[in-house]
Structure 1
Amino acid sequence: MSTPETSRSSAPPVRVVVIEDEPTITQAIADRLTAEGWDVSTAPDGPTGVRTVAEVRPDVVVLDVMLPGYDGLEVCRRIQADEPVPVLMLTARDDETDMLVGLGVGADDYMTKPFSMRELVARLKALLRRVRRAAEPDAARETQTMLELDDLVIDRAGRRVTRGGEPAHLTPTEFDLLLCLASTPGTVLTREQLLADVWDWVDATGTRTVDSHVKALRRKLGSDLVRTVHGVGYALELPGPDSEAPEAAEADRAADRA
């Protein structure tokens, strides 16, 4: 799948499908992305959205959660089952449960309505850069394809993860976040650092995105894997003989909920 970022160059335009049932929002997004030089297709409901993605084979999808026909979660499941594609979900509710479910079905990022078009474009460009970077050859992979930390095994080249021998099915963004944390185990990385390194995005208003993705990682790989440093950020913390007691892990989860 090609993933050009955007531009006024000879490269083919970014293909984007916007699946949104509110005409004014659809038009505003389409106008802004068209102004960026992107090739925009739109769909007003879930079934049409699934068909449009299958026909267009876009580089990225903007997907509303609340849709007629199939809701956004079902649309995301269906399009990811066909051929994985980067998805940015839009939600009208600032509800973390919805966000976590969206990440769980294959979304890479989300935004809460109302949002600025400038931020939407910045998020989409960053998402495309991450996908392109993952597809490019990495010199580090030539020297260390497998990263093994206790019972956690990360296959950089194959972008696969197992823990305790059990495979974990991570989204591209979750994989990149885990790899970033695992590259310096035990080192605390701030939310701002993670936004810059994983999301290629430096706007600190997105730190909640980091929190939600960390929670998704914990749900898939175990609550003891990532340690919260309250008010600072996160560190990969593999269990060992002197690992924290369950009460400490619960304290981390309570800090997340705060």
Structure 2
Amino acid sequence: MNKQKILIVDDDANIAELIALYLTKECFDTRMVHDGEMALEVFDNYQPNLIILDLMLPGIDGYQVCREIRAKSNTPIIMLSAKGEVFDKVLGLELGADDYMLKPFDTKELVARVKAVLRRYQPVSPNAVQNPNLKCVSYDDLVVNLSNYSVLYYDKAIEMPPKELELLYFLASSPNQVFTREQLLDNIWGYEYIGDTRTVDVHVKRLREKIKDHDHWRIATVWGIGYKFEVK
């Protein structure tokens, strides 16, 4: 079996080497680069399964690297930053990052998060949806499959990062039930994101860009409370 490839982008060579060391021990193939331009160049040739991306890079910063990669690929991205402001976290998620860790971080926790994100992100062929044992919900022109992280919309596979798909699945699994932003944060992101409710709004906005309102269902805003998957 081929090793999964991790691209590490950090201008601090010591941190990059430490991350590479731990990931190599876990049988990942790693590549290190130290600036944004090189990251974009290496990305196309190396074709990693996941990117660990520092925000503060010389030249093109991590936000711009994330933006440019997201324009052409759904490869999972874990952002690293020494900054803890909510604004940074939300902007990173808004640009399409899948997870976010603050420096200094525990290397074992980073490895665990890498594995968790990769587990969630396993693109498979849309045909796998036909298996009745899979964990999926279906409506007219929409099938959301949590077992293999795939979405079929008007019979076309729609690529989306794991958290968007989990949010869509969670809402669609309980039609017409209203969830507060806090409930959605707790269920999809876990305790560490509590209080950062803009994260939910950002992901709903991105979902609506990909999945438009249907005659029989839609992702509805319940003003002052949160969201629901409304079925007519």
Relative to the length of structure 1, the TM-score reads 0.66
Shift in CA distance, 224/95, structure 1 to aligned 2, threshold 3 Å:
farther
The answer on 1:48 being equivalent to 2:17 is: no
The answer on 1:194 being equivalent to 2:188 is: yes
Shift in CA distance, 209/109, structure 1 to aligned 2, threshold 3 Å:
farther
Q: Alpha-carbon deviations, 1:199-238, whole Å to 9, x = none?
A: xxxxx65444985642322444499637998xxxxx7435
Of 123-132 and 214-223, deviating more is: 214-223
The answer on 1:35 being equivalent to 2:25 is: yes
Tell me what 1:244 maps to: none
SS in 2 for 1:237: strand
Aligned-partner residue type, residue 115 of structure 1:
F
Of 172-181 and 39-48, deviating more is: 172-181
Q: Match for 2:174 among 181, 184, 187?
A: 184
Aligned equivalents of 1:177, 1:15: Cα separation in 2:
27
SS in 1 for 2:2: coil
Aligned equivalents of 2:164, 2:57: Cα separation in 1:
25
Tell me what 1:255 maps to: none
Tell me what 1:5 maps to: none
Contact 1:141 1:156 in 2 (8 A): no
Q: How does 1:1-258 map to 2 (within 5 A)?
A: 11-132=1-122, 134-135=123-124, 137-138=128-129, 139=131, 146-147=138-139, 154-156=142-144, 159=151, 171-185=161-175, 186=177, 193-195=187-189, 206-208=192-194, 211=197, 213-220=199-206, 221=208, 225=221, 236-238=227-229
Contact 2:186 2:194 in 1 (8 A): no
Tell me what 1:248 maps to: none
Shift in CA distance, 228/52, structure 1 to aligned 2, threshold 3 Å:
farther
Aligned equivalents of 2:34, 2:99: Cα separation in 1:
21
Give the C-alpha shift of residue 159 in structure 1. 2.6
Contact 1:161 1:169 in 2 (8 A): no
Aligned-partner residue type, residue 151 of structure 2:
R
Relative to the length of structure 2, the TM-score reads 0.73
Of 110-119 and 31-40, deviating more is: 110-119
Contact 1:214 1:226 in 2 (8 A): no
SS in 1 for 2:31: strand
Unaligned runs of at least 5 residues, structure 2? 210-218
Shift in CA distance, 217/193, structure 1 to aligned 2, threshold 3 Å:
closer
Contact 2:185 2:193 in 1 (8 A): yes
SS in 2 for 1:16: strand
Contact 1:21 1:68 in 2 (8 A): yes
Of 139-148 and 12-21, deviating more is: 139-148
Give the C-alpha shift of residue 71 in structure 1. 0.6
Shift in CA distance, 212/154, structure 1 to aligned 2, threshold 3 Å:
farther
Give the C-alpha shift of residue 82 in structure 1. 3.0
Contact 1:225 1:239 in 2 (8 A): no
Aligned equivalents of 2:2, 2:196: Cα separation in 1:
31
CA RMSD of aligned residues (A): 3.6
Unaligned runs of at least 5 residues, structure 1? 1-10, 163-167, 196-203, 230-234, 241-258
Q: Give the percent of matched residue pairs that are identical in Structure 1 and Structure 2.
A: 29
